[in-house]
């Protein structure tokens, strides 16, 4: 992939690099503009970023496809319907329960599932749910990870011990096991936290679970960064001017974390989408009949003998989306951090 060869340059031939910088007028540009510039030059990363935007666009347009092309809805069964393919009348689901494969025409473009539901329509609507869960979960992870990371890194001592040990506890569970355990428990009862009540069928449950599980993966590197930032001269200067802890955290440290957050975010979304798929496969994602890519893959794996397209279609959609996010995220990381010091620990 287009990892910028800057790593090799800067070590072996710094003079070349400097000269290049002078020639291109990089001097005096801020880190954000520099990063944006490097990212724009990384054609592969941009291409995959565009691919991701296209996937999002397609999923947002799901109702258009459902109403105007496929003329059905994601949860409407067509068990006993027939359609005309290549001039021949065919059952959507044959008498022995085998659904029709891809027809490559408006209705049942990618075939049907065992209930006679249109796979393409379900794929697009499922994508909306998967992307929604992925993005919101990643947002929750980011918010909480930055919060606890700053608190632990800035105050150190007791706060740090409590935060770090709690993160260790979450970390010590295998992610999937913790997700399934929480998912099973919460989908039975719903969540009651004082005044907040979340119904057991709400999409918020998988979102909260996924967002929660990934906190340590992001909070640890942020805490480490805050630990070193708080010793920097500008923090000392702020303190000398009489700034309190809150002001130092918000206006001195937080802005310096923004590039880390920007680097992590696409990768967090990718991981959240993957975890949603795993939970869907194990039956604790969004409750059916509502589709998500996880539910669709899980369903497809169960019925793979009656139609492999049921597993292949949502799986390919998911792999393309996650791959696009990973490649783009990689490009963003290289742009901000050509020496690649930020690593997403697995």
Partner 1 sequence: MLVVLFAVSVLTFLIFNVIPGGDPALRMAGRQPQPGQLERIREDWGFNDPIYVQYVKTMGQVFSGDLISYSTQENVWNEVKGRIPRTFALAIGAAIMWMLFATALGLYSAVKAGKFADRSLTILALIGISMPVFWVGALMNYYLGFRWGIFPNGGYVPFADDPWEWFYHLIMPWTALSLLFIGVYSRILRSNVLDTINEDYVRTARAKGLSERQVLLRHVLRNSMIPIVTLWGLDFGAVLGGGAILTETVFELQGVGQYAAESINELDVPPVLFVVIFGAFFIVLLNTIVDILYAALDPRVRLA
The DSSP result for 266-331, as a single string, is HHHHHHHHHHHHHHHHTT-SSPTTS--HHHHHHHHHHTTTT-THHHHHHHHHHHHHHHHHHHHHHH
Nearer to partner 1, 107 or 111 (CB): 111
What burial class does residue 237 get, using C-beta atoms within 10 Å of its C-beta: 0-12 exposed, 13-18 middle, 19+ buried? Answer: exposed
- H helical segments located in 200-281: 204-213, 215-229, 233-240, 245-247, 254-281
Distance CA 174, CA 346 (A): 11
| Least spacing, CB of residue 4 vs partner 1, in Å | 10
* Strand partners of residue 99: 93
184/251 with CB nearer partner 1: 184
In DSSP notation, 120-170 reads: HHHHHHHHHHHHHHHHHHHHHHHHHHHHHHHHHHHH-HHHHHHHHHHHHHH
Nearer to partner 1, 225 or 326 (CB): 326
- The smaller minimum CB distance to partner 1, of residues 61 and 181, is found at 181
Residue 241 or 341 with smaller CB distance to partner 1: 341
In the block, residue with structure tokens 């936290």: 193
- In the complex, minimum distance from the CB of residue 329 to partner 1, in angstroms, rounded to a whole number: 10
Give φ, ψ of 327 to 5 degrees.
-65, -45
**CB 158 → partner 1: shortest distance, Å?**
15
* Smallest distance from partner 1 to CB 3, Å: 7
Whole-number minimum distance, CB 243 to partner 1, in Å? 35
Minimum CB separation from partner 1 for residue 339, in Å?
8
The minimum distance between CB 319 and partner 1, in angstroms, equals: 5
| CB of 138 or CB of 146, closer to partner 1 | 138
Task: Please answer whether residues 201 and 231 qualify as being in contact, where contact means their C-beta atoms are separated by less than 8 angstroms.
Answer: no
Half-sphere exposure of residue 316, counting CA atoms within 13 Å on the CB side? 8
Which residue's CB is nearer to partner 1, number 15 or number 240? 15
Q: How far is the CB of 328 from partner 1 (least distance, A)?
A: 10
Q: Which residues bind partner 1 (CB under 8 A)?
A: 1-3, 5, 7-8, 11-12, 165-166, 168-169, 172-174, 176-177, 180-182, 184-186, 188-189, 270, 274, 277-278, 281-283, 297, 300-301, 304-305, 308, 311-312, 315, 318-319, 322-323, 326-327, 330, 340, 343, 346
* Closest CB to partner 1 among residues 170, 243: 170
Q: CB neighbours (10 Å) of residue 95?
A: 6
Residue with tokens 């951090």: 337
Pairing of strands 82-85, 191-193: unpaired
């Amino acid at each position: 992939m287009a990892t910028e060869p800057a790593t090799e340059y800067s070590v072996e031939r710094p003079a070349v690099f400097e000269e290049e910088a002078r020639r291109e007028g990089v001097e005096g540009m801020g880190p954000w503009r520099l990063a944006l510039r490097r990212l724009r030059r990384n054609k592969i990363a941009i291409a995959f970023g565009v691919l991701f935007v296209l996937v999002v666009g397609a999923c947002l347009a799901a109702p258009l496809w459902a109403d105007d092309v496929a003329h059905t809805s994601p949860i409407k069964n067509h068990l006993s319907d027939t359609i005309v393919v290549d001039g021949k009348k065919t059952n959507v689901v044959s008498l022995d329960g085998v659904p029709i494969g891809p027809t490559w025409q408006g209705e049942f473009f990618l075939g049907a599932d065992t209930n006679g539901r249109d796979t393409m329509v379900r794929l697009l609507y499922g994508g909306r749910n998967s992307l929604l869960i992925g993005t919101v979960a990643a947002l929750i992870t980011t918010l909480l990870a930055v919060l606890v990371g700053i608190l632990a890194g800035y105050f150190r001592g007791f706060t740090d011990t409590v935060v770090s040990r709690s993160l260790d506890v979450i970390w010590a569970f295998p992610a999937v096991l913790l997700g399934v355990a929480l998912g099973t428990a919460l989908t039975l009862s719903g969540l009651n936290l004082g005044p907040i009540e979340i119904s057991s069928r709400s999409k918020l449950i998988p979102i909260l679970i996924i967002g929660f599980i990934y906190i340590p993966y992001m909070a640890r590197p942020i805490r480490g960064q805050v630990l070193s930032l708080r010793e920097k001269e500008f923090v000392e200067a702020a303190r000398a001017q009489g700034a309190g802890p809150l002001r130092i955290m918000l206006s001195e440290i937080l802005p310096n974390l923004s590039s880390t957050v920007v680097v992590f975010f696409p990768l967090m979304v990718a991981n959240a989408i993957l975890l949603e798929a795993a939970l869907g496969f194990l039956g604790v994602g969004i409750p059916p009949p509502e589709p998500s890519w996880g539910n669709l893959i899980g369903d497809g794996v169960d019925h793979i003998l009656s139609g492999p397209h049921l597993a292949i279609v949502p799986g390919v959609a998911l792999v393309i989306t996650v791959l696009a996010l990973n490649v783009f995220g990689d490009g963003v990381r290289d742009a901000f951090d050509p020496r690649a010091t930020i690593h997403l620990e697995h």
